[in-house]
């Protein structure tokens, strides 16, 4: 019985050590600094004028993690071209009010906003297709 408890303690210590330095907010999605991070308190002002293309995501979502580098490249490419379009992201596990308001039902959900008005996006997930949507709507 003592060996069982020693083994259990060893597993606990190994688990704690393996997760040291990982905050509760670190769920795996890598954020590109070119992507504007929006929160419940900043969302409305960010979309009220101009064009914003927003990715609503959950950090644990595999499809979201796969899209993250492409979303970052989209933001960098458009900035390099001098576009005024905002490429943004909202973590729906933290900013639930915004995601509920915009009826996000799955992840990632991509929505364009032109002067605060929603523009649905159901296209491809490659940089060129995403960029074409931004160019067409901004």
Position 9 in a domain: no
- Catalytic residue set: 61, 64
pLDDT at residue number 29: 64
Q: Are 50 and 58 in contact (CB under 8 A)?
A: no
Split into its structural domains, the chain has a count of 1
For 47, the domain range is 24-137
Name the phi and psi angles at 35, rounded to 5: -90, 130
Cβ(56)–Cβ(108) below 8 Å: yes
What's the whole-number average pLDDT of the chain?
A: 84
Question: For position 1, what pLDDT does the model report?
Answer: 52
- Using CA atoms, how far apart are residues 10 and 117, in angstroms rounded to an integer? 55
Examine residue 41 and state whether it is found in any structural domain, yes or no: yes
What is the C-alpha to C-alpha distance for residues 27 and 59, in angstroms, rounded to an integer?
5
């Amino acid at each position: 019985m003592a060996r069982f408890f020693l083994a259990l303690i060893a597993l606990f210590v190994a688990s704690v050590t393996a997760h040291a330095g990982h905050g509760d907010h670190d769920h795996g999605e890598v954020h590109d600094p070119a992507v504007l991070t929006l929160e419940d308190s900043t969302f409305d002002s960010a979309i009220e004028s101009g064009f914003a293309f927003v990715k609503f995501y959950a950090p644990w979502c595999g499809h979201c993690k796969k899209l993250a580098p492409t979303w970052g490249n989209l933001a960098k490419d458009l900035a390099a071209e001098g576009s005024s379009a905002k490429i943004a992201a909202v973590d729906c596990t933290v900013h639930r009010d915004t995601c509920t308001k915009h009826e996000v039902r799955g992840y990632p959900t991509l929505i364009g906003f032109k002067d605060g008005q929603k523009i649905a996006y159901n296209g491809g997930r490659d940089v060129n297709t995403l960029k074409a949507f931004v160019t067409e709507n901004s």
